[in-house]
Amino acid sequence: MTELSYTHGTSPTALLGDTIGANLDRTVAAWPDREALVDVESGRRWTYAEFAADVDELASALLASGIAKGDRVGIWAVNCPEWVLVQYATARVGAVMVNINPAYRTHEVEYVLRQAGITLLVASLRHRTSDYRAMVEQVRRNCPRLRETVYIGDPSWDALTGRGTAESRAQLRTRGSELSCDDPINIQYTSGTTGFPKGATLSHHNILNNGYFVGESLAYSEQDRVCVPVPFYHCFGMVMGNLAATSHGACIVVPAPSFDPAATLRAVQDEHCTSLYGVPTMFIAELNLPDFATYDLSSLRTGIMAGSPCPVEVMKRVVAEMHMAEVSICYGMTETSPVSLQTRRDDDLEHRTGTVGRVLPHLEVKVVDPVDGVTRPRGTAGELCTRGYSVMLGYWNEPEKTAEAVDPGRWMHTGDLAVMREDGYVEIVGRIKDMIIRGGENIYPREIEEFLYAHPKIADVQVVGVPHERYGEEVLACVIARDPADPPTLAELRAFCEDRLAHYKIPSRLRVLEAFPMTVSGKVRKIELRETYADRD
């Protein structure tokens, strides 16, 4: 009898029952003098004792400002130490921190401020073309619950942090006993392809345990130094980065306010980082730096690559040239805190590039028929679902949308097409909405992308389906050339595929681009590629 596509993670290590604040207290008690946080750009450093003191100072200031348990505090900022302080201080007082994408503009930030009911907003002053103060001024009249905005690097930040009183400090000492690990503590807005984003609401229990078990899989200890160039506003940064580090006494290293490949490698070298995070496009950018070979990356042993599938050739270089022999692939989504599946330190190259790993401890995953919900046999494609401690409490104030994503059995439906192998490892073969249907044939873009990465003229590639009058859809390959002066032609691409791919999988259209449209978290916006080039030759 064929085994079904269901598996669950067992572990002798129990789930944590702590709040984030209580867990930080444990770490501080164990390693008060070890470094907790380093901001490379400003040169500022905190030991765990110093970090906890600043977290408590900010937490008591929040209490003195009238922030009550359950109040929403927004953070609209690029990566900086203040972001991390806000993360842990809001957890200390039981406020719900609302992460706001730094790329948002007025229309989007106004929606989040209103939908979440944010009462206090902490924001950057400026970054690149974003003037956050000017944007707040444009929308604040439409956000009646917003009482105060504080800007990092501005006197308003100092005024906030200095607001604590003897009374608020005493209140903070008792607040911990009033909090439950199941309290909502974080809202993260997921970037939908249609309509407004939805606010995934997460508890202490959700994100603390997910960060902890990701760190366990990477064998983190107080000896580790984790370089986090991915954005804090996303789970990758604040959970897999910050919480994985602090739950193990490791150090968080912030290389720059936003991703910069050279700054990232300098931070690894100068801070002797043992772990490095990124999406595949970040690692590609680092590996392609003209002076890549001059950086000393020998301190690295591990790290995480997530967000999209990892090309085989990129993984080979990360292991060999970046010394990340124990690098891990993670799969997840904001609604699941985020990681459900992860490769392990001793997995071979094929498992790290052909799969997204196996289920984490205390979680369940299954692959089901997208139509009737019946669990599929192993080796066959279907929708990936996950269940367990990591599944969100729900979308903030949107019970109907929550019910569409989380079924009555508490299974989170991911929207991803997956295949579970006989050994329990899972392959992601595409998004249900990204699958190309050409003349009745189902085509999974990742298969074609992996094949085209081997083309000598292609540095990066994304495959999407675009409308076709006869076949319904046709295959468009969007590529970045290794040498911009000598890009591949469609004829060369098709000749490369001939007799090696089924005819219906061979791209019939080609676009050579300088860069792909990206989200702030580093994912390629395939929907934008489809929309932009749908009607172009």
Is the pLDDT at 118 greater than 80? The verdict is: yes
Of 326 and 534, the one with more pLDDT: 326
Only one residue has tokens 């007082």, namely 93
Q: Which residues pair with 98 in a beta bridge?
A: 74, 187
| 92 part of a folded domain | yes
Q: Determine the pLDDT at residue 180.
A: 98
Q: Which residues pair with 367 in a beta bridge?
A: 384
| 300 part of a folded domain | no
Cα–Cα distances (Å) from 468 to 367, 472, 473, 474, in that order, read 31, 5, 5, 6
**Total structural domains in the chain?**
2
Residue 29 CB burial class (10 angstroms; 0-12, 13-18, ≥19): exposed
Within 65-163, residue ranges assigned H as helices are: 81-93, 106-116, 132-139, 155-161
Q: Which amino acid is at 90?
A: T
Is the pLDDT at 192 greater than 60? The verdict is: no
- Find the domain containing 451 and state its range: 434-533
Q: Determine the pLDDT at residue 502.
A: 81
Average pLDDT for 480-502: 93
The chain-wide mean pLDDT, for the chain, equals 94
Pairing of strands 381-388, 363-368: antiparallel
What is the DSSP code string of 455-517? STTEEEEEEEEEEETTTEEEEEEEEEESSTTSPPPHHHHHHHHTTTS-GGGS-SEEEE-SS--
Q: Determine the pLDDT at residue 312.
A: 87
Only one residue has tokens 């939805």, namely 198
Q: Give the model's confidence band at 193: pLDDT under 50 very low, under 70 low, under 90 confident, else very high.
A: very low
| 279 part of a folded domain | no
Is the pLDDT at 61 greater than 50? The verdict is: yes
What CA–CA distance (Å, rounded) separates 462 from 312?
15
Residue 328: CB atoms within 10 Å: 24
What CA–CA distance (Å, rounded) separates 67 from 390?
27
Q: What is the pLDDT of residues 169-188, one digit of tens each?
A: 999 999 999 999 999 999 99
The answer for residues whose C-beta is within 8 angstroms of residue 327's C-beta and 6 or more apart is: 302, 303, 304, 305, 315, 318, 319, 352
Average pLDDT for 97-113: 93
Q: Give the model's confidence band at 521: pLDDT under 50 very low, under 70 low, under 90 confident, else very high.
A: low
* Percent of residues, the chain, with pLDDT higher than 90: 84
Please tell me whether the peptide bond between 338 and the residue prior to it is cis, using omega within 30 degrees of 0. Answer: yes
Residue 97 CB burial class (10 angstroms; 0-12, 13-18, ≥19): buried
Average pLDDT for 504-532: 88
Q: Give the model's confidence band at 503: pLDDT under 50 very low, under 70 low, under 90 confident, else very high.
A: confident
Q: What is the pLDDT of residues 128-141, one digit of tens each?
A: 989 999 999 999 99
Residue 207: CB atoms within 10 Å: 26
What are the tokens at 41? 């750009």
Average pLDDT for 107-136: 96
Most confident of the ranges 202-206, 352-356, 432-436: 202-206
The separation between CA 97 and the C-alpha centre of its own chain, rounded to angstroms, equals 17
Q: Which amino acid is at 328?
A: S
CATH number at residue 103: 3.40.50.980
Q: What is the pTM of this model?
A: 0.86
Q: What is the pLDDT of residues 18-44, one digit of tens each?
A: 999 999 999 999 999 999 999 999 999
Last residue of a domain, one of 138, 160, 180: 180
Last residue of a domain, one of 158, 180, 202: 180
Terminal alpha carbon distance of the chain: 49
| 402 part of a folded domain | no
| 193 part of a folded domain | no
Q: Determine the pLDDT at residue 194.
A: 44
Side-chain-side CA neighbours of 379 within 13 Å: the count stands at: 3
CATH number at residue 517: 3.30.300.30
Helix (H) or strand (E) holding 205: helix 204-217
Beta carbons of 395 and 406 less than 8 angstroms apart = no
| 494 part of a folded domain | yes
Question: Phi and psi (nearest 5°) for 498?
Answer: -55, 130
| 446 part of a folded domain | yes
Q: Determine the pLDDT at residue 527.
A: 86
From the list 204, 194, 166, the residue with the least C-alpha distance to 60 is 166
Q: Determine the pLDDT at residue 67.
A: 98
Last residue of a domain, one of 160, 180, 200: 180
Beta carbons of 251 and 225 less than 8 angstroms apart = yes
Is the pLDDT at 520 greater than 70? The verdict is: no
Cα–Cα distances (Å) from 90 to 147, 176, 202, 276, in that order, read 17, 12, 13, 27
| 129 part of a folded domain | yes
Within 4-80, residue ranges assigned H as helices are: 20-30, 48-64
Which of these ranges, 101-105, 207-211, 425-429, 533-537, has the smallest mean pLDDT?
A: 533-537
